[in-house]
Amino acid sequence: MSWFDAVDIRKEYPLGDGVKVALDGFSLSAPRGDFVSIIGRSGSGKTTFLRIVAGLLEKTSGEIRYGGGVPPRIGMVFQEPRLMPWLTVEKNVLFAHLSRNRKAIPYDMAKNLLEMLGLSLYKDAYPSQLSGGMAQRVALGRALCREPELILMDEPFGSLDYFTRRSLQEEILRLYMRDKKTIFLVTHDVDEAVALSRRVVVLDQGRVSREIDIDLEYPRKRTNPAFAATVEMILSYITG
């Protein structure tokens, strides 16, 4: 049963005397608890879609609907951590709550998230004192501290080294298997998409060109021939 529906989304940007079309009739449905990876060539509209869902961009036309009619709480993780340099790790995780009455700030939740993400010893550290992987863990904790129903991830591991990226992929999968949050992940890494998601959506020129269900049990072994075959199939859809 569908919980999220993007219907015929179009996004235009002014360009000289005309317009650039980033999304052109983009439609996507997802049940609650789905994990969808969105892939495609650069400029295919992946990030534009996430930013529209997050409310960071206005769509030109189309509709986004949610089950029950009420927009959910959304947490977003960007490619760069985008931490506040003047705040500690703990305060960055709590950032969405800092304008509230002090008694309402969920310090216990932040403590649990920092423990889960292996950051307890760094709660009083500042972003400049963290490695790239640690900073991205803080960004993930900040998104989770909003208790989101929908998590949007825009190439969150793209700038990290191979080993850190694999470690964080495992962390995301563990969180997903535990909480079954709905996740939309934009990535250029087809291996990552197949390892993590239940479904891969291929974008081409602002439209969905393919949807592939990933019928492999978690955790997925990259050495499995079925895994490799799925990666090659999806690559063929992108490269044409």
Burial profile 64-92: b = 16 or more Cβ within 10 angstroms, e = fewer: beeeeeeebebbbbbbebebeeebbbbbb
102 pLDDT above the threshold of 80 = no
Task: Output the six-digit token pair for 31.
Answer: 């049940």
Per-residue pLDDT, 144: 93
Reported pTM: 0.94
Whether the per-residue pLDDT at 77 is higher than 80: the answer is yes
pLDDT, tens digit (0-9, with 9 covering 90-100), for 46-75: 999 999 999 999 999 999 999 989 999 999
150-193 pLDDT tens trace? 999 999 988 888 898 898 899 999 999 999 999 999 999 999 99
pLDDT of 27 > 90? The answer is yes
> What integer best gives the mean pLDDT of the chain?
94
- Amino acid identity, position 112: N
Predicted confidence at residue 142, as pLDDT, reads 95
Domains annotated for the chain, with CATH where assigned, are 2-239 (3.40.50.300)
C-alpha distance across the termini of the chain, in Å: 32
- Model pLDDT, residue 99: 76
| pLDDT in the model for residue 104 | 81
